[in-house]
Structure 1
C-alpha cells in the first residue's frame, strides 16, 4: 500500500499540469526535491511518471467533454427535471438535462402569483418548455466571480429562461434514478426540518445536518469567515467522525458484532455522503473512513495518510475538474497538513493546547489557498477556534442531530427543546457578529502572484520541517518575511493603474498611483437592489469592494463623488464598512439632494470628513498632477455641476467629466484649453453630452464610456459613438469591454480590458 502516497501526489501533479502549465511548473520543483531527498528506485520513478501521464490524459479527456450540443438558437427544449426549483427573490432556478444528457440551468421569473404554486406542485417530470437560451455571464471585473467558469466546471453551458409559465401544466412524470431518489429524500428531510424547528434555528440546522447553508444570512456568513471558523458550518471530517463514532457505539450496544457494525457503516456512509450534499470535504471524510474499515475487514493494514491518498486518487479519477474546487483544495490541504505533521508537532500536554496546535497547523496548511481565493487571512482564527470547536462538536452538532431524530417521534417536545436551543444559537450569532467587528479580525493582503504563492509553499514546507526539529524560529521569520513582502507589495509597488470598474449603469474609477503615493476613487457606482432584504445585491459590496480587496487596497485617500445621482454615489455606504476613507469630496450644495443628504449624514456619523470642492483647486501626488476644473459656483444643478478633474500621470493626460452635459462643456471650453489624451465620456455617452465642439477641442486619443450592458437608457447614444469614431479616437466601453485598465510604470503604460 506504500505506492498510494507517491501515486496520489503524482495524480495531483498530472491533473494540475492538464489544467494549468504555470501551476504545474511551480509545483514540479517540490516533486524533484522529494526524488532527490528520498532517492526512489527507477521502478518507482517510472510508476510515478506513468501515473502522472495517466491523470494528465484523463483530465484532458474530461475537459474535452465539456462541450455543448446546443447552438443557442433553440426556443423549445424537452428537459428532464429531477430537482426542485430553488426560489430566491423574484427568480426560481433548477438544473435540468436535455435529451442528450447535457445539463443546463433553468430559470423562471416569478412575475405572476400562481407561478410559485405551479413550481411547488411540479413533480419530477419531462417538460417541453419554451424559452430563451443565453450564455452565463463572465467576469466583467478583475478577480471577480466568474459565473460562466463556475458553471463550466459543472459541465453546464447555458441558462434557459422560461417564457411561458403555462408550460408547467404540460409536463409528464418520470421515474427517478437511485441517486435522484436519495436527493429527493434529502429535500424531504430539509422540508421536515422546517416544520419541526423554529425559524431562526433552521438555517444552521440545515447547514450542519444536510450540508446546505444557503439560508444563512450573508452578513452572518461573512462574520464566520472573518473569524476563521466558517469551516464549522460545513459538513466535514469532524461531523463524519462524530456520526461514525455515535453509530458505532449505538450498534454495539444493541448487540451487533464489530464485523456487522463495519458492514453497516460501509453501506450507510455513501448514503450519508449523498444526504449531506456530497461536497468534496464530505466525500473525502467518508471515503477515508470506508477505506480504513474495508482494509481492516480484509486484514490489510492501511495508514491514515494512505487512506487519504486513496481518496484523492479515486475522486480525481472520477472527476479531475474537482481539483479546481476550493472546497477540495482546502479539505485535502488541511487534512494532509495534519496527517503529515510529526507526532512531536501535534503532541500537547493539555486538551486546550492540542486544539490550539491543530488550529495552527490547519491554518498554515490552508494559507496559500485562502490568500489565492479570498485574499485575506483571519489571525483571530487561532483564538476563536479554541472557543467555537468545543461549542460545535460537543454541544451544537449533537444537540441538533438528537433533536432531529426525536422530531419523528415527539414533534411537540422537539419544538419546545429546539426553541431553547434557538436562543443559544441567536446568542452565538450575535457574539460572532460582535467579534468580527474587531480591528484586524482579518488582514487583507490582496491576491498573490503565482511566484509569491510558490514562495508561500516553500515557507510552509520549511516551517513544518523546522517545527518537527524543534527549531522553528528561522522558519517563522522566513514566513513573516514572505507575509510582509506580500502585504507591502500590494500597497507600495512600482506600477500604477487607472481602472474603470464595470458597475453596470454607473461610474466608478479607481486611480492607484505607484509606490503608494495616492489612491483615489472617483464615484462608487449605484446600489442596484432586488429580491428580499437579506438577499439584496449591492454594487459597493459585491463589485467595488472585491476589486479593491483583490488589489490589497483597504484605504483610499479620497472618494470623489462627482455629483448626487445614485448611480455615482450608491456604493459609498457599503464601502465604509470595508475600507478606510481619508475624506469624501462632493460638489458644492449637492447635499441638498435627498440621496446625498442622507449619505453625508451617515459619513459624518462615521467621522469621515466631507468637503465641498470648488474650482480652481489642484494637488500633486508623487509624479502625478491633478486639477479640479469645475464647478465654479455653489448653485447645484445636477449633472452640469459634476466635479470635473484634469490629471497628468503615466505619460498621458486625463479628463474625468462625471455627468457634465453640453451646457457645462461650453463653460469648460470658455475657461480652459482641455486637450487630453484620455476622455472619460460624460453622462455614459448620452446625446446630451460630448458635443462635437467639445470633442474637437479635447481631441482625445482614447474615449472611455462607462455604461451598463443593454441599459434601459440605450447608452451610449449612436450620435455620440459616431462623433467619437469620426474624431479618430479609440473608443472603449464597460458595456462592451468590461472593466478597462491603464497600467503604467513611469511614463509608459498599456490599456487592457476584461472582455475581448
Structure 2
C-alpha cells in the first residue's frame, strides 16, 4: 500500500462525517463537498490502484453514517429503564445523569427514593418498571455562545430526556458486559474517600470525569492557562502508561510481544473506564496499531497510522466529531506530523496556530502565553502531580498520612496555578469565529505549514494568517452595528446595549435564578450571559443598570462582577440602604463606581443618553421603586421599567407623556403588570416579554396577551424566540433577529 493512502482516506472520512452530520446550511454543505471533492481528486490521481478499496470503504461509511444520522424514535416506557450507578449523580434526593431503555440511552432527571438512592450508592444496577414520565427532546441553546447540550448529547446518541414522576424499582443482577459499570462505580466511591485535590486528579486521570461542582474552578484555571489538555487523558498519558508498564515488563524479563499485549490490555481497560474519552481512544488506537505493524515488520507511515486510527474510531463512534475534544485531539496529532521537522519552539507555535480556529469557534477566548505556561506546568504535572496521584490512590488506604502530605503539596501547587490564572495574563477575549472563518484560517494555516516558502503577492502565507486574524479581530471588536439584545436568561431580565465602532457595552439587569428549596445550581450568568458576551468579544462592561433588588433581575450580579470588569453600577437612589443589595456588592465597592439615580437624571456615555424617568424618590429597591430608563437609538425610542407597578406607570405618563417604538413589558407579562391605559398612551409598535419556559408563575398571563391583542400590539417573548436582538447601523436598516428562528422580524 502506497504511503499516504490511509491518511487521505482518513481525511476523506472526516470530511464525509462533517458533510452528513454537521452541514446544516446549504453553504456549509457546499464547502464540505468542495473539500471532499478536492481530497477525492488527490486520491484519484495519486492512488489509482487503491481506488476500488477506497470506494468500497466509502460506500460502507456513507450507509453507516446515514443510519447513524437518523435519531431514535421516542423511547417506549413499556420497556424497563436501566440505571447504572456510574452514570448518575445524586444530590440530596435528586438524581441526574443517563439511563438506558432497551439499547437507547436517555437523559434522566427526577426525585429518587431513599432505598433506590442507597442501592446506586452501593454500586447496584437499578431496573425501573411501570415508569410514568414526561418525555422531552433535549433542548438546544437559546442564546448565542451558549454551550450546545443538545449536540453534546447527540454525540452520545442521547436525544430524549425523561422527567420521571413515578416508578417501580428492583435491583438488576449485572451481566458480563455490565461489570464495567460496577467497576467504574466502585472506583468512583473509592476516590470519593480521598481529599479534594487528590480525588479531582484521580477522577480526571482514570475516569475522565470531574467528580464535583466544587472543583470546577480547578478546571477553569487550567483552561484559562491553555493547559486543559493535561487533565484530559490523551496521548500524553498513553505514552506515560506504556513507558511505565514497559519498564516493569523489562524488570520481569518479559518479551516484546508480551509487553505489547500487557500494554494493549491495560489501554483497552482504561478506554472502558474513561467511557471512551476521544483523546485516549485515539492515542490507544495509535499505540496498538503501531505496535502491531512493528511486530509484523510491516512498514506503515505515522500519517497512515493516524488515518487508520480515525477510520476505526469512526466505526466505533460515528458522531465522533460532535466533540470539540475529538477534533482538537486529531488536529494536534495531524499537526505533529506536519511539523516534525521543526524545532520544539517553532513546532509549538505552529501547533497553537493550528488549533486556534477550533478554540475560537468553540470557546471564544485563548491565552497567547499558552506556550510559556505549558513549559512551566507540564513538567510539574508529569513529574509531580501525575506520579503522586497514583502513589496516593495505590497506598492511600494503607498509609493515610502519605495522602495527607500529598494533598498539602497538591493544594500548594493548585493555589499557585490559581494565582497565575487569576492574573488573566495573556488571556485574550477574541470572540467567536464564524464557521467559514474557522475553516478558512485552518486551511490557510495548514497550507502555510505544508508550503512555508510559498509567496503570494510577495507576502509569505504566515503573514496572511496574521493579517486574517487581525481583520477578523477588528471586525468583532469594532463592529459596524450596535444592538439591543434581550438575553434569554429564563425567568428574569438581562438586556445588552452596545454601540457601533468604538464599542460601548451596557447591561440592564443581570438575571438570576429565584431559589426554591435547598438545591443550588450554577449561576445562570456562567452558562448564558458570560459565554454570550465572550462570543461577541466583550470582556468588560461600561455600565450595568440595576432596576431593583429582586433575584431574577440582580441575582447574578455578584458572580458577574467576580468574572468581568464593570466600570459603573447605576441604580435607583436608596438601593444601597437595602441589606440584601449591600451584601451582593460587598466585595466589589472598591473597584466599581456606584451611581445612584432619580427621575430627571441623565447618563450620557458612548453617544447614548439614558433618561431616568422613575423613581421620583429614594426607595429600598422593591418593585414599586424600579429604575426606569427611556432612550433613543437610531431614531427608535425605547422604554424599560423593570417590574414597576401600575401606579408607577401612571406617574411616568403624568410627568413625561411618553410615546415609544419599543417597550419591555413589566414583570415578565404578569396579570398585574403594565396598565392597558398606559399601553394605549405609549403606542409601541412592538413589545418584549422576558419569561422562562414552563415557569411556575404562568407568565406571560393570558389576560396580558389578550390586552396586547385587543390593542393590536405584537409581542416577542424570549420563552418562544430565545434571545432577541435588534441591530442598527449607519449603513443599513435596523432589524430584529430571534435566535431560535433566525428569521428577521
Give yes or no for TM over 0.5. Answer: yes
| TM-aligned CA deviation for residue 377 of structure 1 | 0.6
**Worse-matched range after superposition: 564-573 or 688-697:** 564-573
Aligned with 1:67 (options 66, 72, 80): 72
Partner residue of 1:525? 511
Helix, strand or coil for the counterpart of 1:560?
Answer: strand
Q: Is the 8 A contact 1:528 1:538 kept in 2?
A: no
CA shift digits 1:708-753 (9 cap, x unpaired): 2232333222221111111111112122322222233336222222
| TM-aligned CA deviation for residue 57 of structure 1 | 3.9
CA shift digits 1:67-114 (9 cap, x unpaired): 22437xx5x652233444322465223432224x2222233325x665
Helix, strand or coil for the counterpart of 1:515?
Answer: coil
Within 2, Cα distance between the matches of 1:237 and 1:531? 44
Within 1, Cα distance between the matches of 2:349 and 2:221? 20
Quickly say closer, same or farther: Cα 1:527–1:80, change in 2 above 3 A: closer
Within 2, Cα distance between the matches of 1:707 and 1:126? 37
**Worse-matched range after superposition: 469-478 or 686-695:** 469-478
Q: Is the 8 A contact 2:509 2:546 kept in 1?
A: yes
Partner residue of 2:209? 212
Partner residue of 1:132? 133
Partner residue of 1:7? 9
Quickly say closer, same or farther: Cα 1:25–1:529, change in 2 above 3 A: farther
Helix, strand or coil for the counterpart of 2:106?
Answer: strand
Within 2, Cα distance between the matches of 1:26 and 1:702? 38
**Residue 551 of structure 2 is aligned to residue 566 of structure 1:** yes
Within 2, Cα distance between the matches of 1:314 and 1:451? 28
Helix, strand or coil for the counterpart of 1:604?
Answer: coil
Partner residue of 2:437? 452
| TM-aligned CA deviation for residue 635 of structure 1 | 4.5
Helix, strand or coil for the counterpart of 2:483?
Answer: strand
Within 2, Cα distance between the matches of 1:91 and 1:604? 37
**Residue 693 of structure 2 is aligned to residue 696 of structure 1:** no
Q: Is the 8 A contact 2:43 2:51 kept in 1?
A: no
**Residue 416 of structure 2 is aligned to residue 431 of structure 1:** yes
Q: Is the 8 A contact 1:59 1:320 kept in 2?
A: yes
Q: Is the 8 A contact 2:548 2:572 kept in 1?
A: yes
Query: What pairs with 1:491-506 in structure 2 (closer than 5 Å)?
Result: 491-506=477-492
Partner residue of 1:79? 81
Partner residue of 2:111? 109
Query: What pairs with 1:705-724 in structure 2 (closer than 5 Å)?
Result: 705-724=689-708
Q: Is the 8 A contact 2:492 2:511 kept in 1?
A: yes
| TM-aligned CA deviation for residue 19 of structure 1 | 2.2
Q: Is the 8 A contact 2:151 2:322 kept in 1?
A: no
**Worse-matched range after superposition: 683-692 or 635-644:** 635-644
Aligned with 2:316 (options 291, 315, 318): 318
Partner residue of 2:273? 275
Aligned with 1:152 (options 148, 151, 154): 154
Quickly say closer, same or farther: Cα 1:433–1:744, change in 2 above 3 A: same
**Residue 565 of structure 2 is aligned to residue 580 of structure 1:** yes
CA shift digits 1:354-377 (9 cap, x unpaired): 4x4554343222211111111111
Query: What pairs with 1:525-674 in structure 2 (closer than 5 Å)?
Result: 525-528=511-514, 536-605=521-590, 607-618=591-602, 626-635=610-619, 638-674=622-658
Aligned with 2:45 (options 27, 35, 40): 40
**Residue 84 of structure 2 is aligned to residue 95 of structure 1:** no
The alignment covers a number of residue pairs equal to 730
Runs (5+) with no aligned partner, structure 2: none
Aligned with 1:508 (options 487, 494, 497): 494
| TM-aligned CA deviation for residue 653 of structure 1 | 2.2
CA shift digits 1:561-596 (9 cap, x unpaired): 112222211222222233222211110112112222
Within 1, Cα distance between the matches of 2:581 and 2:35? 56
CA shift digits 1:3-22 (9 cap, x unpaired): 20111111111111112344
Within 2, Cα distance between the matches of 1:127 and 1:114? 13
| TM-aligned CA deviation for residue 221 of structure 1 | 1.0
Helix, strand or coil for the counterpart of 1:654?
Answer: strand
Q: Is the 8 A contact 2:569 2:594 kept in 1?
A: yes
CA shift digits 1:632-672 (9 cap, x unpaired): 33355722332222222245322112111111111111122
Quickly say closer, same or farther: Cα 1:371–1:227, change in 2 above 3 A: same
Q: Is the 8 A contact 1:338 1:361 kept in 2?
A: no
Within 2, Cα distance between the matches of 1:263 and 1:214? 31
Helix, strand or coil for the counterpart of 1:429?
Answer: helix
Partner residue of 1:244? 242
Within 2, Cα distance between the matches of 1:69 and 1:662? 46
Partner residue of 1:351? none
Quickly say closer, same or farther: Cα 1:548–1:153, change in 2 above 3 A: same
Within 1, Cα distance between the matches of 2:57 and 2:704? 59
Query: What pairs with 1:188-337 in structure 2 (closer than 5 Å)?
Result: 188-195=186-193, 197-215=194-212, 217-337=215-335
